[in-house]
Structure formats: structure tokens, C-alpha cells
């Protein structure tokens, strides 16, 4: 599914996320709920209740929205503070 700019400007805390690809091999395959977001990292809590910090720039994420939609987003599109990402203009790629 192609990602519209409005999706990348949204709120990700509380969504279920899964890391599809990453340059850090231990991060690939992690999944859980996002509980915190900084400029460069997501904090994800898995089923085992462990908190894991994942660098946004080096990963590709699958996000599951409450309506059942699953989208794949490259982390480099999300690497900004959440409050600044809302203001950022993103060129359409299609």
C-alpha cells in the first residue's frame, strides 16, 4: 500500500508495530505496541513486557491501525520529532 503524506504526519504512540527489515539484525521481526517516540527512536513493548528501543532511520515498519489497515513505512520518513513531523511538507512520490 502506498503511504500518503497524511499518514506519516500522524500519531504513532499506541499503534501496533512490527519491524519488517532493519540494518540491525536483532531488530528484524520485533513487534509490539509503541509506547514512546523521540526524534530518532521508537520504544516498543512486546508480549514479554520488555521495552525495546528501535532506531527509526535503519528500519522499515508495518503499522496496524485500529480499523485493521496495515501499512509499511520506511523509518527515514518518520525521523523527526513528532511535533515537527506534523509541520513538515512531504513531496508526493506517485
pLDDT, tens digit, for every residue of 20-68?
Answer: 999 999 999 999 999 999 999 999 999 999 999 999 999 999 999 888 8
Specify the CATH architecture of the domain 5-79: Roll (2.30)
71 — phi, psi (to 5°)? -125, 155
How far, in Å, CA of 37 to CA of 12, rounded?
A: 8
> Which pLDDT score is estimated for 6?
72
Half-sphere exposure (Cβ direction) of 72: Cα atoms closer than 13 Å? 8
Amino acid at each position: 500500500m502506498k503511504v500518503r503524506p497524511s499518514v506519516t504526519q500522524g500519531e504513532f504512540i499506541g499503534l501496533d508495530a512490527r519491524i519488517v527489515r532493519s540494518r540491525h539484525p536483532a531488530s528484524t521481526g520485533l513487534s509490539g505496541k509503541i509506547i514512546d517516540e523521540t526524534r530518532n527512536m521508537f520504544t516498543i513493548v512486546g508480549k514479554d513486557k520488555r521495552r525495546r528501543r528501535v532506531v527509526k532511520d535503519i528500519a522499515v515498519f508495518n503499522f496496524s491501525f485500529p480499523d485493521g489497515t496495515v501499512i509499511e513505512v520506511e523509518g527515514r520518513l518518520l525521523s523527526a520529532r513528532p511535533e515537527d513531523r506534523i509541520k513538515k511538507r512531504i513531496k508526493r512520490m506517485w
